[in-house]
């Protein structure tokens, strides 16, 4: 079911299936990618309990092999709406027999979308329901934004970080990590958008910045604040003139190249102690 929250600045729609953002509008302008399957059928999936790919599509835990698709199962799960009012909604996903077939842990994932002025606050809380076992997980966002969105063409836009360079997470040709970083040079603090930027798939960076902005020239269109997240990715469909850009705040990374992960020691996995919770937040701010 699609639910809508709004205030005087923004109208935001969310699907209970996957707790996925479906629309971010200000007036007549739609900022969120609308899922044209020619390029990419999703809009803003929630990534849990992994971000990215597992090597071989599987992992091990306490000697047992488990299968899991890219980005985990939250994006393909029905969430329960726990609270909704005019400008806020909270949805939850609770472990059950189906999730434990691929992820043998007891958890609650709670997601709240709320509006403050022209800011959309995306809050995530992971709770470990076990009284004895650690909960290993990663979590992230994958929102796509229309580009162009306020006129011009794709190449008129840039992603602004500030500074002279940012540490790039080096990926293999099949998008697994190689456990190394290199400085990615910025021009006037930004990365100019071009479709061939993604000919080798996504770009990922270590989160060393306060916020990142989508700009047309020097005009900020929207920004993301994601200090709770460890990495940030940029992506659109490989080898295409796709009219969108995904700006992806992640707390986690894909598997290492050539290694089937053991979830008890996976690189960049969060290890949540028994009977505790952890909060993550990123904000999408629209320059209206």
pLDDT in tens, 168-206: 999 999 999 998 999 999 999 999 999 999 999 999 999
CATH 2.70.98.10 assigned to domain 2-286? The reply is yes
Strand pairing report for 135-137 and 119-128 = unpaired
Q: Is it true that the peptide bond before 148 is cis, omega within 30 degrees of 0?
A: yes
Cα-based distances in Å from 69 to 113, 196, 220, 236, 284: 25, 27, 35, 19, 27
Cα-based distances in Å from 280 to 35, 109, 111, 144: 25, 11, 10, 19
CA distance 281 to 72: 19
Q: What is the mean pLDDT of the chain?
A: 97
Q: What is the DSSP letter of 78?
A: B
- Inter-residue contact 104 to 135 (CB < 8 Å): no
CA distance 100 to 130: 13
CA distance 281 to 228: 6
The single residue listed with the structure tokens 């999408």 is: 284
pLDDT of 19 reads 98
Within 8 A by CB and 6+ apart from 109, the residues are 46, 48, 74, 92, 93, 94, 124, 125, 126, 127, 139
Confidence of residue 210 (pLDDT cuts 50, 70, 90): confident
What's the predicted TM-score (pTM) here? Answer: 0.97
CA distance 46 to 55: 20
DSSP string, 35-55: --TTT-S-SSPEE-S-SSPPG
Domain spans, the chain: 2-286
Say how far residue 173 (Cα) sits from the centre of its chain.
Answer: 21
pLDDT in tens, 50-94: 999 999 999 999 999 999 999 999 999 999 999 999 999 999 999
Confidence of residue 116 (pLDDT cuts 50, 70, 90): very high
Angle (CA) 83 85 89, round 5°: 50
């Amino acid at each position: 079911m699609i639910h809508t929250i709004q205030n005087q600045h923004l109208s935001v729609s969310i699907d209970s299936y996957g707790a996925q953002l479906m629309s971010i509008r200000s007036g007549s302008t739609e900022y969120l990618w609308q899922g044209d399957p020619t390029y990419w059928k999703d809009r803003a999936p929630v990534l849990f309990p992994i971000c990215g790919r597992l090597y071989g599509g599987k992992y091990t835990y306490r000697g047992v092999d488990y299968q899991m698709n890219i980005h985990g199962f939250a994006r393909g799960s029905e969430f329960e709406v726990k609270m909704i009012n005019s400008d806020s909604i909270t949805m939850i996903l609770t472990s059950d027999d189906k999730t434990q077939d691929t992820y043998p842990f007891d958890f609650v994932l709670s997601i709240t979308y709320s509006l403050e002025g022209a800011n959309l606050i995306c809050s995530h809380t992971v709770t470990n329901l076990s009284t004895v076992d650690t909960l290993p997980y990663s979590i992230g966002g994958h929102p796509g934004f229309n580009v162009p969105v306020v006129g011009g063409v794709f190449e008129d836009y840039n992603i602004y970080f500030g500074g002279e360079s940012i540490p790039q997470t080096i990926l293999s040709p099949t998008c697994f990590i190689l456990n190394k970083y290199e400085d990615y040079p910025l021009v006037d603090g930004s990365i100019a958008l071009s479709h061939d930027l993604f000919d080798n798939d996504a770009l990922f960076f270590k989160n060393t910045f306060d916020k990142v902005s989508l700009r047309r020239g020097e005009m900020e269109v929207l920004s993301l604040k994601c200090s709770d997240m460890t990495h940030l990715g940029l992506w659109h469909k490989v080898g295409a003139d796709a009219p969108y850009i995904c700006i992806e705040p992640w707390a986690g990374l894909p598997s290492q190249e050539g290694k089937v992960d053991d979830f008890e020691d996976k690189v960049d996995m969060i290890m949540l102690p028994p009977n505790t919770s952890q909060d993550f937040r990123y904000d999408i701010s629209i320059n209206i």
